[in-house]
């Protein structure tokens, strides 16, 4: 990866790269050679396929770990890097983000660019969309269990009278897996920021967190599909004692909405 490409990636993270420039940057990023701390280990199952283990730097409490990524061969550095490294590409880096949640710091001769976990998943979504546009058949990644998010979301909603209704849905497509929270609430921006802090540490790998305003006009088809589901929280409802027992001891299932990106009528 050249220093110019690193700077364009930095501009993309800051929202300063145009869609056309992003289209040009993406294939360069995917093909760029990268090195990161890690090692190949034999698979425990005896299948003969090596397992790649990343060596991550632990983050502060509540923060994700960080993966150091060198864009030039660390063996040529002065002094050379002596820790075991994996030689990969940008595309492989994005695949790692489907199995572990981490931030990545790209380094080229001391100039650095931070790619957050959300950045990595967004770049992977762009990669998948590009492959679809080229006519490749893309199978969606399996949707992980999102039930860990339910108690935290319910706890916030019940403690905040301004949240009238709230939905949680798993949105699966060939490009991405998303945990989508839709709120019918005043001060929606404040609630979204508060919930992001509470829910993001609970996200499984490969899943991004998105928010929708039930009264907004963004993604109307998806909003209608989610609104057709039973809300996870409804302040106007008055559950009977059986329902209250269920709410206390049974975690509701998170409904799954599959989006076909090739079908214009899909939500």
pLDDT one-digit tens code per residue, 214-243: 987 778 899 999 999 999 999 887 654 444
- As separate numbers, helices (DSSP H) first and strands (DSSP E) second, the chain gives 8, 11
Is the model more confident about 124 or about 81? 124
Classify residue 57 by its DSSP letter: B
Is the model more confident about 25 or about 51? 25
Mean pLDDT for the stretch of residues 164-169: 95
CB 152, CB 218: distance < 8 Å: no
Q: What is the pLDDT of residue 243?
A: 47
Convert 168-178 to b/e letters by CB count within 10 Å (16 or more is b): bbbbbbbbbbb
151 — pLDDT class (breaks 50, 70, 90): very high
Nearest alpha carbon to residue 197 among 186, 218, 211: 211
Q: Which range among 33-42, 75-84, 142-151, 211-220 has the greatest average pLDDT?
A: 142-151
Enter the tokens of residue 79: 């002094």
pLDDT at residue 143 tops 50: yes
Q: Give the CA radius of gyration of the chain.
A: 21
pLDDT at residue 262 tops 80: no
Mean pLDDT for the stretch of residues 171-183: 96
Q: What domains can be seen in the chain, in order of their start residue?
A: 3-42+50-133 (no CATH), 149-258 (3.30.300)
Q: What angle is formed at CA 54 by the lines to CA 36 and CA 93, rounded to 5 degrees?
A: 60
pLDDT one-digit tens code per residue, 184-196: 999 889 999 999 9
What are the two backbone dihedrals, phi and then psi, of residue 203, each rounded to the nearest 5 degrees? -70, 140
Q: What is the pLDDT of residue 236?
A: 81
Q: What is the pLDDT of residue 49?
A: 65
pLDDT one-digit tens code per residue, 70-86: 999 988 888 888 888 89
Q: What pTM does this model have?
A: 0.87
Is the model more confident about 242 or about 115? 115
Q: What is the pLDDT of residue 98?
A: 95
């Amino acid at each position: 990866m050249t220093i110019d490409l690193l700077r364009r990636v930095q501009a993309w993270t800051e929202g300063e790269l145009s869609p056309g420039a992003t289209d040009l940057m993406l294939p360069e990023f995917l093909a760029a050679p990268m090195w990161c701390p890690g090692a190949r280990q034999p698979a425990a199952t005896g299948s003969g396929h090596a397992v790649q283990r990343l060596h991550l730097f632990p983050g502060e409490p509540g923060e994700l770990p960080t993966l150091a990524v060198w864009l030039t061969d660390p063996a040529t550095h002065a002094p050379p890097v002596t820790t075991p490294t994996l030689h990969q590409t940008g595309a492989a880096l994005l695949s790692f983000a489907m199995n572990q949640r981490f931030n990545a710091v790209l380094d080229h001769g001391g100039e650095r660019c931070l790619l957050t976990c959300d950045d990595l998943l967004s770049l992977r979504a762009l990669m998948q969309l590009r492959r679809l546009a080229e006519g490749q058949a893309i199978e969606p990644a399996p949707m992980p269990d999102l039930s860990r998010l339910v108690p935290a979301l319910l706890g916030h909603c019940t403690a905040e009278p301004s949240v009238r209704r709230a939905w949680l849905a798993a949105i699966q497509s060939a490009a991405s897996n998303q945990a989508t929270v839709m709120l019918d609430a005043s001060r929606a921006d404040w609630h979204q920021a508060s919930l992001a802090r509470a829910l993001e540490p609970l996200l499984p790998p490969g899943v991004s967190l998105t928010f929708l305003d039930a009264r907004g006009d963004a993604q109307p088809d998806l909003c209608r599909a989610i609104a057709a589901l039973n809300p996870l929280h409804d302040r106007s409802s008055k559950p009977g004692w059986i329902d209250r027992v269920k709410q206390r001891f049974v975690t509701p299932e998170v409904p799954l909405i599959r989006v076909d990106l090739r079908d214009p009528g899909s939500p």
